[in-house]
Amino acid sequence: MTIHLEPPRAATPVAAPERRPTLPLSGPEETPLLTIAIPTYNRACWLVRSLPIVLAQVEAVQDGSIEVLVADNCSTDETPDILNRLAAQHPWVRVTRNPENLGPEGNFFRVRDLARGRYLWILGDDDVLLPDAVARVTRMIGRGYDYLLFDCMCFDEGMDVCRSPSLLRLRADLPFDRVDRVFGATYLGLGFISINVARRDLFGNIGEAEYRHFAHWGLSFFLDACAAASRAKRGIVVAGPILTARGTSREEISPNFNYFTAFLEGPHEACEILRERFGFRRRYIRRFKGAILRRMAWRRLAYERLTGELDVASARRILRAHYGSHLFFWLTCVPLLYLPGVGRAVRLAVRLGGGERARRLLARERG
């Protein structure tokens, strides 16, 4: 990051998603305008904070046009009790529990298939809405847009320290006639699911083989969302954050997780699909990949040099194969990979920079 995409959780999809009919759950028969869908797994400690805010904002504008759908991915904590209690208090809340854990990506597709609204908004179970967020979304839908991309703030894993007040760094709304132009300009915005709101019928763009291939990176829904945006006739990027997003703690990441594979190799392959099948232009894809280098890659290289975690061979292979045509790679990433003394220079820069994040990095290095 300054803010990163959430790394995939440890759970692994057990099966590719299938197109399923909507379950006969209780609720209104008419089609809602908007489904706010929340996939969740063992996040009771965060749901008690985030979900009441969603419900309060929906209730403030509720006229029968919004449903809240929560899909429990076989949680083993107090999540089912929390959800059943809230559903009993709000008739427009639907709760479903998957028969088996589908993995995070599988649960994203699950809520897509269960949603009844004409528009779909998938929220992370630990994302906290800012005031008036639901009202802002419904107002923008009322203006006739079929794809909306909002901004967000990013906090650390404890939601204590703001790492970035803006992911998209826009000063004004940005209507788009070509999604690849927005794709290049907004960095990983289209990849952060919680800030995307779109007509539900725009989704469903990838098949089972692509799902399986990209799911282990946590990028199958990202690919589907980018393709959905390319099908939109009228879209807009809305300046101003709509929610606060929580960074992922080290304990929530699989021990086998490789940062460079997930956030550099995976997006490169997704870009190739977007270019070949969905008409994304090379220059905007190149701009997007350049932003990954400038905002993510060199920072991660510096961090892993500082902590002694850097696998030079793996990082070099991925970076050179997929980003070697970018001058920034040679001027910044190569020195971080090879030059002796870079670790000490990074350590000095962290000390001089100060701040809470620097203190945590240095404390971890000492520990």
Contact 65, 90 (CB under 8 A): no
Residue 272 carries which side chain, given as an amino acid letter?
A: E
Contact 225, 111 (CB under 8 A): no
CA distance 54 to 115: 17
Contact 38, 69 (CB under 8 A): yes
Q: Which domains does the chain have, with CATH numbers?
A: 34-252 (3.90.550.10), 278-366 (no CATH)
292-314 residue pLDDT tens: 998 889 888 888 887 888 899 99
Mean pLDDT of 82-106: 92
CA distance 60 to 143: 20
Mean pLDDT of 344-348: 62
143-160 residue pLDDT tens: 999 999 999 999 988 888
Q: Is 354 left (phi over 0), alpha (psi -120 to 50) or beta?
A: left
3-state secondary structure of 249: coil
- 229 phi and psi, to 5 degrees? -65, -35
What is the CA 4 to chain-centroid distance, rounded?
8
CA distance 237 to 17: 29
Tokens 């797994």, located at residue: 41
Query: How confident is the model at residue 306, as a pLDDT?
Result: 79
| Buried/exposed code over 142-153 (b: 16+ C-beta within 10 A; e: otherwise) | eeebbbbbbbbb
Asked if residue 53 has pLDDT above 70, the reply is yes
How do strand 147-155 and strand 162-164 relate by DSSP bridges? antiparallel
Alpha carbons within 13 A on the beta-carbon side of 355: 10
Q: What is the CA radius of gyration of the chain?
A: 21
Question: Which of 107, 111, 113, 76 is CA-nearest to residue 14?
Answer: 107
Its pTM stands at 0.84
Tokens 């000095």, located at residue: 348
Mean pLDDT of the chain: 84
Mean pLDDT of 268-277: 94
CA distance 214 to 234: 28
For CA atoms 17, 19, 24, 30, the dihedral sign is: positive
Asked if residue 2 has pLDDT above 50, the reply is no
CA distance 66 to 68: 7
Tokens 């759950």, located at residue: 25
Mean pLDDT of 208-234: 90
3-state secondary structure of 188: coil
CA distance 161 to 153: 11
Contact 58, 68 (CB under 8 A): yes
The residue count of the chain comes to: 367
